[in-house]
Structure formats: C-alpha cells, structure tokens
Structure 1
Amino acid sequence: MKRIVLVDDHAMVRDGLRLLLTTRADWLVVGETGDGRMVCDVLRDTQADLLLLDLELPGCHGTQLAQQIKAEFPEIKILVLTGNAHAATVRAAMAAGADAYMLKHEDGDELLCAISLVLSGIRYVSKTLARALEVEDGATVAPITAREKEILALVANGYSSQQIADKLNLSVLTVRKHRQNLMSKLSLRNVAEVTAYAIRDGLSISNPGA
C-alpha cells in the first residue's frame, strides 16, 4: 500500500484528488493540508511515500518546500501539481528535488500514470510541458521514423535487442543502431526515460509476452 499526502490550499481540489486516487486500491491518502508550514509535520505523522504538492501555498512557496522536504525526507517522492506552466518554474522545481511536474488542468488518467511512474522511481514531466520546454529552449528534435517509433514502444515494453530483432526480422546490430539513434534524438539516457517518453507520446505499454 502506497501512502499519499495531498497539499493544496483549495479544499475542493484536495477532495477531487482524493476521489480520483480511490480508483487505485493500492494507494491510500493518509494526510492533507493547505498550509505550507504544516507539510513537514504531516509527513512526519503519516510516513508517506508520495506528496502531491501545489506550488502556491500560504506560509511557504512550493519550490522552497520541495527542497526542504528532500533534505529531511529524501525517500519521499514529490509530484508537483500546479497551475504554473512557466518553464523557469518547472526547472526550478525539478532542480529543488521534485520527481514530477504536472498542470492541474491536465487529464486525470495522465496523473494516475505519472504517480505510478514516480512511485517506481521514474521522473516525469507532463507531455504538454515537455513540448513547451522544447519550444522555449529552441530545441530541434530530428523526426522519429515509423520503425524507430516501433522499436521505442518495444524497448519501453521491456524487450531486449535480441527479442526486438526476432520480432521485427532485423539483425541485432540494426536494432542496436536504431536504439542509439533514438536515445540521441530524444536525449534519453536509460530504459526508464524511454518508458516515460513512450507513455507521454501515447505509445502502448504492455508486457513482452502479451
């Protein structure tokens, strides 16, 4: 059972989040507050695994709070859920120790997916924000071919290079080259980041044997 704390200064937002999280039997909301000054006390009392954190809070800004929490509770995952879409704020929050960043108007299913990823140790920025950050940075990403997208989905599903080669009737060397090109194009460093990207891109994630 994963224990979750909600931090938002709007009670109705907390109510909505609590209702959404009840759709997962393995998650339990164990505490909540709307006051930034009370967050650490709630975390001490609840031994939470995950904190859903708004940035605009009475008593303490969320970015400063994230840094404080990571210093005192390094094992707790922090998912920022806010209305602030400024690129500088996203970067500041992630640099302060946030494990994920999402906007309040985004889809509830994506939030549930992001929580699952964060709890499994994968950092996440929502699809909308990831694209906005690329535009602001002036990043030019080379287009992904249909074959590369197919391999991306298989890598994210846990297939090895040999399994992908067998499934697509390619040589292992060809598959490895495609994987290297993908990682370079998308600035991805490992399979966890590939999985997060694939989910943001709407690719199907399942089990290799399915």
Structure 2
Amino acid sequence: MTPKTLQIDIVSDVMCPWCIIGFQRLQQALTAVSNIDAHITWHPFELNPQMAKEGQHLGEHLAEKYGSTPQQSQQNRANLIAIGKTLDIEFNFTDQSRIYNTFNAHQLLQWAKTFNQQTALKLALFQAYFQQQQNIADIDVLLNVVETVGLDPKQAKAVLTSQQYADSVRAEQALWQSRGISAVPAIVFNQQYLISGAQSTQYLIEAIKQLQA
C-alpha cells in the first residue's frame, strides 16, 4: 500500500518548552500510525520579539508577563521536567535560567531549510537552550550549534551578518499571525487542519488516523 503523504507545518519558538514537548508527542504519534509519509516544515514565531540580546531572568520574565509568583514558576518548571522525562527531553532549569531573543535562530532555521536540515537544527537549538542552558541569541553559540548538525558555520555567520533572511522571517510570522496563530505550538496538517498546543500523543494519533481515512 502506498504511504499517505502528510504535510505538517509547525509554528513554534525555540524558547517554548511546550513546542519541544508537542513535537516529541507528534513523533510518537507518527511512529504509532503506520503507512504515513510525513513532511515537516518549521515556521517562525517569536514569543518575545523585543527581548534584548542579553535576555532576561526567566523568573522575572514570567512574573512580568504572566504575573507568576516564584512558587508558581518553580512548580511550572517541576511540571515541565516531569513531562520531559516521559518524552526523553532533558529540561535543566536552574535559578539562574534566562530567556533570550530568537530572531537570529529563526533566520538560521530558514537557511537550514535549503539543506533539508531544519528539523535537525531545531532539535539542536532546543537542546542547546533547554538542556545546556546556552544563550542562543549569541552568535558564537548559534554557530557552534549549526556545526553540530553538519552545516557550515562560515556560511551561517554570513547569513547572520547580512541578515538576508530577516525579511522572510518577518513575512512568515506576519502570515501565520494573519491566519489566527497567536500562540505556539501550532501544528497544521495538510494546510487545512489546525491543532493548537501540545496535545497528548493519543489525541494526535486519532487526528492522524482521521486524516489517513
């Protein structure tokens, strides 16, 4: 039987822990459903487009943006760590964790698409940030991450120096926002069916089966 082709567009930000959780659950669902040929494309979304390069203390940021108390922030981190363990995601939050600007990271993801390395780079960026607690707004950090997935750091540096993908990243963000995407992750199947948030693996399995049918 010929596998059913499934186009999957994922709108996300590297700063978003639920985006990597949602992706891992999607991977589990795709593994569980047979006869699917999935093609994944990542699209940019900046949770904090005005964030400075040096970033902001995570607890302070959550307090300012959502009104979270230190106790609530600590509980949320503990919840993410527990969920991550069930999905082989290592969240190494500390009391000094910071949140960073991701605009350059999104430009490199656009560039990596031309080499069919988007997913590899996205996962490496998630790992650098959540597992290794690195500043992925820092160009040297980004170039090191690029190199880990087999891409040329010299080319990547030229991309960032020229900002040649800046306009296309902004245009893509505007496009998805015009389609009603205001939070991430957002997963769109076959350019028609939207699933918002990091839904459970079983929910995704059922959704894929319905598309398959």
Q: TM-score, normalised by structure 1?
A: 0.27
More RCO (CA 8 Å, sep 6+): 2
Larger radius of gyration: 1
Q: TM-score, normalised by structure 2?
A: 0.27
